[in-house]
Amino acid sequence: MIYDTENKDIKIILLGEPGVGKTNLTNIFCNLKFNPSTKPTISKSALDKKVIINKISYNIQIWDTAGQEKYRSLNNIFIKDSRICIFVYDVSNPKSLEGLSYWVKSAKEILENKAIYGLVGNKIDLEPKINQEEGEKCAKDIDAFFLQCSAKNDKGNFEEFIIKLVNEFLRRSKLEGWEIYAKEDSVNVSAASFTKENKKKCC
């Protein structure tokens, strides 16, 4: 038997510099196709997907944010109420890893220690200029779970990573009394950002 959660959302946010692949990672999690001509995200967008964990249905709401500097102040608003925060960099672009310092600082100031953090090195299908050891060290420094993957050639690794983070969040929530679901006003803001195309395709 599967127990429903009344469609309450667990909010996940992806942060990082422009062009690191946040949009395609979001899309492949929601079973959409990789798009090599994906345009930069403006402000933010959100998709959702139901997952079953221990016979309970959870609605995972995943937010894709803009990396451009002019949208950074807005992203701080969208970080609020996130239960899981995933920082993304491009393994072929060292500057994208350096640029994460801003995103890490912003997220941790807002979420403090009441969220689970992940670090994803994307685009391993390209020639890497950041090795796995560097990524693992960075993840350790910011207390984050680590994954290297390719949105282009993903075989379910990113979805498995999301499920791992959700499981850890649920475990920590039980131990420390964290609120599990995003607040209703946060959900409503996200819902307004869905496009008609995304509503048809996603989950």
Residue 129 counted as domain residue = yes
pLDDT, average across residues 110-124: 95
Question: Where residue 172 sits, what CATH number does that domain have?
Answer: 3.40.50.300
Q: Token pair 């909010």 is at which residue?
A: 11
Residue 151 counted as domain residue = yes
Residue 29 counted as domain residue = yes
Please answer whether residues 203 and 50 qualify as being in contact, where contact means their C-beta atoms are separated by less than 8 angstroms: yes
Strand partners, 50: 59
Residue 3 counted as domain residue = no
Please answer whether residues 121 and 149 qualify as being in contact, where contact means their C-beta atoms are separated by less than 8 angstroms: yes
Q: What is the rounded distance in angstroms from the CA atom of residue 128 to the CA atom of residue 122? A: 10
Could you tell me where the DSSP H helices lie in the chain?
Answer: 22-29, 72-79, 94-98, 100-111, 132-141, 157-176, 184-191, 196-201
Residue 1 counted as domain residue = no
pLDDT per position as a tens digit, 42-100: 445 788 899 999 889 999 999 988 745 545 566 578 888 899 999 999 999 999 999 99
Q: Token pair 């670090």 is at which residue?
A: 119
pLDDT-derived band of residue 196, with 50, 70 and 90 as boundaries?
very low
Residue 2 counted as domain residue = no
pLDDT at 124: 96
User: What's the mean per-residue pLDDT of the chain?
Assistant: 82
Domain span at residue 174 reads 9-201
Residue 160 counted as domain residue = yes
User: How many folded domains does the chain comprise?
Assistant: 1
pLDDT-derived band of residue 117, with 50, 70 and 90 as boundaries?
very high
pLDDT per position as a tens digit, 131-184: 999 999 999 999 999 999 999 998 889 999 999 999 999 999 999 999 888 765
Q: What is the rounded distance in angstroms from the CA atom of residue 25 to the CA atom of residue 41? A: 13
